[in-house]
Chains A and B, each alone.
Chain A
């Protein structure tokens, strides 16, 4: 916000100095008395941008009045501008002026509220309001609204004509289900809100909108269920959102990074989803949903560890199947972080644990390979990471090549060339597939990072390193909090009631009329809650803003 206002102030300052090129340079940019002047100001502010559409009209019957409608082509919906804005201005204002000329003589006070009258009697658009603030008017035009300027009036009528091209609602690309709804969020915040509202037709579903980013003015919507979500959680989320000071917010990741409890951790502490059904489900469980304009990824908070292992499909399949799927996911996380390191520890330090025949087999394979197991594993894992990264960023058309080349080279050729043992290929492939089995991509990335740490520990210390690594990992995780909720919540601190939907998904008839997390949170003893928004744990940027805010207050 700060830098934006600074820039504006500078502009105003520059304009107030008389400049030969600009006839109206002496006045700061703003709404002027005449339409022509105001239009010139708008054009100057936008740098004479050609996509600014100005339609100058004359409204009224016998007494004509200069007016102009301004919008940006491409952002505004042309049909709405034509029909509801210009149409209503041209068609309905005549009788308005007739009325005014009749009654104008006896009440002079009415003169000032001509825009008000147009607003209340002529405008056909659903959203319209009178605005005097120059900044707001510019912001509205830049967001696709139409501004109507009237001669002799220092206010503009803003009509909601936002539209333009948008991606249609389509199937989510990152979180797929076999059975379940197939619609996904899109880039428009309004559509996303509608997608959620369509699922929860309840008056308790509250929505708060704010604009963040001093340059982008991104709409950020916060949704929650009043009465289900904890009041302190809502307050905390709102506070942290308001403290964000960034110039640009282009994705929900920007916000996620700023409002999470702790910056230095590989683990995500805020969930994100592309699926409206997941967002709706989490709202009903008392979480807060944050929708950012311009991205289909919606933030859900607070998020605990177990949440990243849930998939929308768990609730559409029968519970026994869901339990199995979930256990497979936890198992795959374990395989992901420990698979290569356990293999390494077993083969280099504790080979007595491997059954003898297998050990002989392994050793005969290793005979032809020049590298120690650690180097071998590191080579293979790095190659796999490169392959995966290439596969993600590749243009679609040549995406097939990567998998073919990868499978051939890393699978077969590398073994035949005697660089890697075949069993190593199995280990790495299993780890790679395990990382894809996790429903949350960011948790999979966290696992991939941690895997390398374990790999190094295991290569130096064997199982000793792995055990200590596990202790450190659990300690780190139990020191994490997501908006005041301990990250390992139903496990540590232990809550039997919280376990109905974590490791297992209990059947709905057991789960059904259960307490939402918010209520469970309220029932949790005080010492488990600790602080929401612990100052020390907030990210540096927000902490800095808090401090400057306090300083301002003191001044």
Chain B
């Protein structure tokens, strides 16, 4: 990779925004009912274990993206197709995220704007930022991480002041035992959003410090898990588990409960802003990962593939499903049937191969 390096603070904020992404506004982990907050934390723990594997691979190959060291570890003939599969995965994830985001936007505020226009605008903005480079993306993310946190703080304080928070709605904890929580973790939470960290294997070569870098990313994961868990707990305590379970974007009705003497009310536009920012950065990170993969695998300059890749993502996102329900259904299937292989099995294989090779080749002094 080039000389471009990204500072730790920037990487932290990029990771946080990536993790919050769409997860902040949807009903994450509601399979566990009112214990969703717990399943998010457990999911994060599982995600961290997966990330340990990614970090191990990164430490072994600090200057190469994922697609490069697959070739090194598995050989050219197996490694290159594996890399290609990952590029397709990233493009697919970017497209799915784009579809998620623009549909949610259309649901939330832009009822009459065509989905295609919303997606195209978002994607063009992403292409512009990526045209400036990955380090510009990370620097931009820093500013907007502050914006998101500021909005979060504002929302929380306003909810407290409005007196709509009822912590009793969170009780009883683990009403039906541990089963539902575990099921929710296995079905969704370890993968979304924490397993998606696999795309950071493409960005980690930009880290300015090999030693501290993975720790910073792990810290960002924990931080965002705490935020997500806090938000879900907030949702449940304001709306009750029933409404949250049935609402696709529970944060919207939660925030719209804010009402302070008829002046500050219906501030759910802030949630929309958080949604836009989150979707944008998540999509941009996947997009960047795909671009880095393409330029690494096919030796094509990064900027040359920017607009072709944007077009592919745009049309994948528009054509992958006829309706949002189908889109969600597809997503559930992919999450359960396809992603685990790519996010756990292949990296685990790589880790094992690397470790075994290291074990047999290293101790031969002289």
Residues of chain A touching chain B, judged by Cβ–Cβ distance below 8 Å, are 349-350, 352-353, 355-357, 461-465, 467-468, 471-472, 474-476, 478-479, 486, 488, 491-494, 525-528, 530
Contact = CB atoms under 8 A, between A and B. Distances in A.
Interface in B102-134: 105, 109-110, 113, 118, 121-122, 125, 128-129, 132-133
A464 B110 contact: yes
B109 A468 contact: no
Contact of B269 (A350, A478, A488): A350
Contact of B276 (A357, A468, A479, A526): A468
A475 B9 contact: no
A73 B308 CA distance: 67
Interface stretch (B74-82, B135-143, B189-197): B135-143
The main secondary structure of chain B at its interface with chain A is helix
Given A461-B113, A474-B144, A525-B208, A353 B4 contact: no
Contact of B267 (A353, A356, A461, A472): A353
A471 B145 CA distance: 11
B152 interface: no
A463 B139 contact: no
Contacts of A475: 128-129, 132, 136-137, 139-140
B247 interface: no
A71 to B, nearest CB: 55
B266 interface: yes
A464 B272 contact: yes
A494 B208 contact: no
Interface string B41-77: 0000000000000000000000000000000000000
A478 B140 contact: yes
Residue picked from A474, A478, A525, most chain B C-beta under 10 Å:
A478
A275 B105 CA distance: 50
Interface of B: 3-7, 9-10, 105, 109-110, 113, 118, 121-122, 125, 128-129, 132-133, 136-137, 139-140, 142-144, 208, 262-263, 265-267, 269, 272-273, 276-277, 280
Nearest to A479: B132
A476 B122 contact: no
Given A492-B139, A493-B139, A525-B7, A472 B128 contact: yes
Contacts of B142: 491-492, 494
A86 B118 CA distance: 80
Given A526-B5, A530-B4, 7 more contacts: A353-B265, A462-B109, A467-B276, A471-B144, A472-B128, A527-B4, A530-B3
B139 A488 contact: yes
A471 B144 CA distance: 8
A476 B125 CA distance: 11
Contact of B105 (A352, A464, A488, A492): A464
19 contacts: A349-B109, A350-B109, A464-B109, A465-B121, A467-B276, A468-B122, A471-B125, A471-B277, A472-B129, A474-B140, A474-B143, A475-B128, A475-B132, A478-B140, A488-B143, A491-B142, A493-B139, A527-B5, A527-B208
A471 B9 contact: no
A476 B137 CA distance: 10
Nearest to B110: A464
Given A355-B262, A356-B262, A472-B129, A491 B143 contact: yes
Nearest 7 interchain pairs by C-beta: A527-B5, A478-B139, A479-B132, A475-B129, A492-B139, A475-B140, A467-B276
B143 to A, nearest CB: 5
A467 B110 CA distance: 13
B129 A463 contact: no
Contacts of B129: 471-472, 475
A166 B88 CA distance: 70
A463 B7 contact: no
Nearest to B132: A479
Nearest to B263: A355
A362 to B, nearest CB: 15
B101 to A, nearest CB: 10
B203 to A, nearest CB: 14
Contacts of B113: 461
Contacts of B136: 475, 478-479
B273 A463 contact: yes
B12 to A, nearest CB: 10
Contact of B110 (A353, A462, A528): A462
Contacts of A472: 125, 128-129
B142 to A, nearest CB: 5
Contacts of A465: 121
A293 B64 CA distance: 53
A463 B263 CA distance: 20
A417 B4 CA distance: 59
Contacts of B137: 475
A372 B259 CA distance: 30
B328 to A, nearest CB: 22
A475 B280 CA distance: 12
A220 B362 CA distance: 64
Contacts of B277: 467, 471
A467 B273 CA distance: 6
Residue picked from B5, B143, B267, B272, most chain A C-beta under 10 Å:
B143
Contacts of B140: 471, 474-475, 478, 492
Contact of A355 (B4, B265, B280): B265
A349 B110 CA distance: 8
Residue picked from A465, A467, A494, most chain B C-beta under 10 Å:
A467
A530 B2 CA distance: 12
B269 A493 contact: no
B276 A493 contact: no
B262 A464 contact: no
Contacts of A471: 125, 129, 140, 144, 277, 280
Residue picked from A462, A471, A472, A478, most chain B C-beta under 10 Å:
A471
Contacts of A488: 139, 143
A330 to B, nearest CB: 14
Nearest to A468: B125
Contacts of B9: 493-494
Contacts of B133: 479
Nearest to A463: B269
Nearest to B146: A491
Nearest to B10: A493
